[in-house]
Amino acid sequence: MRVIAGAAKGRTLKAVPGMNTRPTTDKVKEAIFSMIGPYFDGGVALDLFAGTGALGIEAWSRGVERTIFIDREKISIDIIRHNTEIAGMGSAAEIYRNDAERAIKLLEKRGIVFKLVFLDPPYRMIQMDELMTDLAQRSMLEEEAIIVVEHDAAHLYPEHIKQFEQLKQSKYGDTAVTIYRYIPSDSMNGGQADE
């Protein structure tokens, strides 16, 4: 596993030992970033079920200003710390051990707004549409923010989720990637108030 492009290109990242974490393969990661980037001009990324931190590190390497990494497992947090140091992120990385829902509430209090969100939870968790809606309701997404959901290929997320439009869905073996763009309701209906 390595950083594919940008400032930290070629740096080798550590995987989380054991079978509980399923790191995004380099092939899938490359496909994701060719769909959403490949490069970015600033903004803040959220890597919510960060695991190794590979997606958030790749986003920073390709131009995101900083990435906030959240995971609830201590082993993952240790690996993310190691990987962000290897990548040379320094203060561009914020790493917190917490549950996704609790982390979102704490980040909301800080008024952070995200340009890019990675949701790569354990495959048994299939309510990422609810998490996306929660982020939108808390005003934590930039207009046209990109949400990347990595999930079991057997599960299909809908084309439209409230204020999110699906841009792409691709399958790679038993892994699927669904990408959404956030369109606030006032821009969806031409600035008119909801009826």
- What whole-number distance in Å separates Cα of residue 88 and Cα of residue 188? 39
CB neighbours (10 Å) of residue 132? 23
pLDDT of residue 194: 41
In the predicted model, what is the mean pLDDT of the chain? 91
Residue 188 has pLDDT above 60, yes or no: no
Q: Which CATH number fits domain 26-179: 3.40.50.300, 3.40.50.150, 3.30.1490.20, 2.60.40.2130?
A: 3.40.50.150
The dihedral formed by the CA atoms of 138, 144, 147 and 148, expressed in degrees to the nearest 10: -170
- Mean pLDDT confidence for 127-143: 95
Q: pTM score, two decimals?
A: 0.92
Residue 105 has pLDDT above 90, yes or no: yes
pLDDT of residue 187: 58
pLDDT of residue 195: 36
pLDDT of residue 191: 45
Question: If you count them, how many residues does the chain have?
Answer: 195
Q: Are 29 and 56 in contact (CB under 8 A)?
A: no
- The residue among 75, 66, 62 whose CA lies nearest residue 29 is 62
